[in-house]
Amino acid sequence: MSRNLRPARSLADELRARSDENLQELFTLRPDLLSPLPTDITALAARASSAPSISRALDLLNAWEIQVLEIIAVISEPVTLKSVKEIAGERAVAPYEKFVTLALIYMDEAEIRILNSVRDALGPEPAGLGPVGTGDQSRWRKKIEDAPSAAKAMLEKLTWGPPRGTVTDIKRPTSAVSWLMENQLLTPTDTHTVALPREVGIYLRGNRVHKEHFDIPPDYSSKNLSQEDVDSAAIGAALEILHHIEELLHFWAGEPAAALRSGGVGVREIKRASDELGLEEKYLIFIAELTYISGFIALHNEEEFLPTSSFDIWRNKSLEERWIEIANYWLGTSRVAGLIGKSERGYIAPLGPEIDRSSIAHIKKLALTLYGEIAPTAVDVGALAERIKWERPRRAFGSHHDFVHWIAREAQWLGFTGRNALTSFGKALLQGEPTIGMSALLPKEIDYILIQADNTAIAPGPLEVELAREMALIANIESKGGATVYRLTEQSIRRALDSGRSSDEIRKFLGKISKTPLPQPLEYMITDIGKRYGKLRVGISFSSYIRCEDEGQVTAILADRKLAHLQLRQLSSTVLMTEGDIYEALDALVDAGYFPALEDRDGALIARKHDKARAKSKPRPPRISSELAQPSEDLITAALRALRAGDKAANHRRSAPIVAGTPSETMGTLTLAIKSKATVTVGYADSDGGVSERVIEPIHLVGGILMAYDHGSDEVLRFSVSRISGVAIVE
């Protein structure tokens, strides 16, 4: 983009001379400049040169751009583009242009001016160079070749940094240190420290600032793959994680995960769920975190974690919609599941409060963007970590490589990537495409199953949502993938009966959707369980009771040691009583091999739901981020209009200060402005009593109300003349 680089005496002058297009580019790259909106260009320049804003801007630079900025900051003045290229080469031009765009530097005649706040942000020793020297260069350059061997050795040690050395006492230096200070090759900084002057360091480096230029980014590509292979590998992972989310939440609905006092869930709960679902613990922890950040699970009564109604809403969406929802939550979260486990500070619990990192969302998006740049080529994850460090050196931290490896692993689990390459639908999601094309890759939903002789049923593809839900109620899922294997057992049939289905309804449903006939043993099992179910009734009045018309079964229950903890008492030949909880009695009877049903006080059967325990929906965990949202075009346009108006008002204040006058004088000045179509500056009191200055163009004045075009809001507004404290015509 072409840029106006007219000479400027200050950053404010340079910004004022920019076109609206150039300022729009600045606000897009540095959104913090608009929060809150500066009053005019002078205030904008002050904001742009403030330490927090400069730090944010430098965080956007890659390793090579940081090096070029350091070169501009350390070489002797006058600094010109030519002098920068002499050290950094032609590749320095692109960073230089970026610095101008970001308002980190500006031009004063032919010289490059770098903001003092930028120098401060680069640190006291940029590129490992010491403080600016004050000596005569022609003198110390001649002395270097004649330096004693001990002095030369000391110079070599300090040349590439750090540029400081420690002495016992600056007043009693060694002969080498004394010689170097006398010849202005070392500068004392305090009573025990000497430093190599910046100019000397650059000279000793051979007129270089850095030992090595990082102008070429590290490569991170691995194997060449086809997009079809990548998508095919990832779609299975996407389907699996959607299924495992449902499995985990159904399990925790029936057996809620107890909450730790410090927050989150403990090791025992994770191991219990891992064993039950047959999932590796780290993978299960990631799934649990996904459900937490998506709002599908929440803390209930400060005691346990339960699914929320948001989970039920999510389950009713299509597979693609479900995946997009959890993928977007994963992209935006500040929680880092990889941190969970043992650490130096002790155990970090899943769903706990200690795993937020403000920069993770930025690193995650950058990593996936880099995946996209070489897709469908696979990524070397170790090399990718180095590339991200090059892209954002100021954001790199001690465990940077671990974070990148965790991101790569989670992207694979989620189906964002396949075989370590970005999927087509993952790329479309990152680019904000309205449709990501995932549904075309998913296997088509089917409406039938194949029941086998061993009481298993195979769905050779994903079942339609309602059929899948009914099958999950009637049968246990043994394996999930391209095909789903269900097993029909006594326990699963009883679960369906508990939920209000009858044995006849179960048989008819299976017979309707199965393309193979129901095996006779399976029909017998369903019929037999249906007959036995409900003969034994458990109900509640003032205490729980167990009722059965079969006196022999009542006698057997009383004698059953497995039920001793219920402390049963016989009220009659067909009724038992227990002081225990009704559901405790039901579960105990089921575990002992009986087929109890729940009834109300009138003796009517009550359907018992196994997976409907829900926590009250709560806000999702807060997202902790240092990122600012990119401003919209409308916001930038309004900001530019306000800044130009504010600048105009500031100029008007200097050229035509507002003078308070009598009401008649104010009316006279406004009438004159209307006739001459002049612009005026007015002092206007708001409803709170505060007075602001407005630049307006009066249109007409009727009954004490002035209609005028307001330059700040770009609107025609009504002004009450009684609130105008003063007015001045702009010449």
- Give the 3-state secondary structure of 631-698: CCHHHHHHHHHHHHHHHHHHHHHHHCCCEECCHHHHHHHHHHHHHHCCCEEEEEECCCCCEEEEEEEE
- For the entire predicted model, the pTM comes to 0.74
Which distant-in-sequence residues (6+ apart) come within 8 Å of 53 by Cβ?
A: 30, 32, 33, 47
| Cβ contact 496:479 at 8 Å | no
Q: Which residue, among 124, 119, 181, 185, has the nearest Cα to 158 in the 3D structure?
A: 185
| Inter-axis angle of helices 381-391 and 360-374, nearest 10 | 120
How far from 243 is each of 143, 357, 526, CA to CA, in Å? 76, 28, 27
Q: Which residue, among 119, 93, 114, 89, has the nearest Cα to 207 in the 3D structure?
A: 89
Helix (H, G, I), strand (E, B) or coil at 381: helix
Residue 142 to residue 13: CA distance in whole angstroms: 43
Q: Give me the pLDDT at residue 50, please.
A: 93
> How many angstroms from the chain centroid is the CA of residue 683?
45
Residue 720 to residue 710: CA distance in whole angstroms: 14
Q: Give me the pLDDT at residue 543, please.
A: 63
Which distant-in-sequence residues (6+ apart) come within 8 Å of 36 by Cβ?
A: none
Domains along the sequence of the chain with CATH: 11-128 (1.10.10), 137-204 (no CATH), 227-430 (no CATH), 450-531 (no CATH), 534-606 (3.40.1170), 656-729 (2.30.30)
Q: Give me the pLDDT at residue 657, please.
A: 61
Cα-based angle 492, 497, 500 (whole degrees, multiple of 5): 135
Which distant-in-sequence residues (6+ apart) come within 8 Å of 662 by Cβ?
A: none
Which distant-in-sequence residues (6+ apart) come within 8 Å of 16 by Cβ?
A: 41, 647
Task: Dig out the tokens for 60 from the structure.
Answer: 């956007």
How far from 686 is each of 491, 658, 690, 719, 723, CA to CA, in Å? 73, 17, 6, 10, 8
Q: Give me the pLDDT at residue 1, please.
A: 45
Helix (H, G, I), strand (E, B) or coil at 94: helix
Task: Dig out the tokens for 153 from the structure.
Answer: 């050795």
Q: Give me the pLDDT at residue 2, please.
A: 44
Instruction: Give average pLDDT by consecutive 10-residue segment, the chain, 731 residues.
Output: 57 90 93 84 90 93 96 91 93 95 90 93 92 74 84 90 85 86 87 89 91 94 95 92 91 90 91 91 96 92 89 89 95 92 80 88 93 96 95 81 95 96 96 92 86 90 82 83 83 83 89 90 88 71 73 84 81 78 77 79 62 65 72 83 75 62 82 85 77 82 86 78 83 61
Q: Give me the pLDDT at residue 231, please.
A: 95
Q: Which residue, among 298, 317, 319, has the nearest Cα to 249 in the 3D structure?
A: 298
Buried b (16+ CB within 10 A) or exposed e, 386-417: bbbbbbbbebbeeebbebbbbbbbbbbbbbbb
The Cβ-side half-sphere exposure at 363, using a 13 Å CA radius, reads 30
Helix (H, G, I), strand (E, B) or coil at 425: helix
- Which residue is associated with the tokens 């009542």? 554
Q: Which residue, among 134, 142, 119, 221, has the nearest Cα to 184 in the 3D structure?
A: 134
- Give the 3-state secondary structure of 114-144: ECHHHHHHHCCCHHHCCCCCCCCHHHHHHHH
Q: Which residue, among 689, 686, 683, has the nearest Cα to 728 in the 3D structure?
A: 683
> How many angstroms from the chain centroid is the CA of residue 469?
32
Q: Give me the pLDDT at residue 601, please.
A: 65
> β-strands 596-599, 536-540: how paired?
parallel
Q: In what order do the strands lie in the sheet with 304-307?
A: 257-258, 304-307, 297-300
Task: Dig out the tokens for 285 from the structure.
Answer: 């922890």
Task: Dig out the tokens for 463 from the structure.
Answer: 């079942």
Residue 242 to residue 315: CA distance in whole angstroms: 9
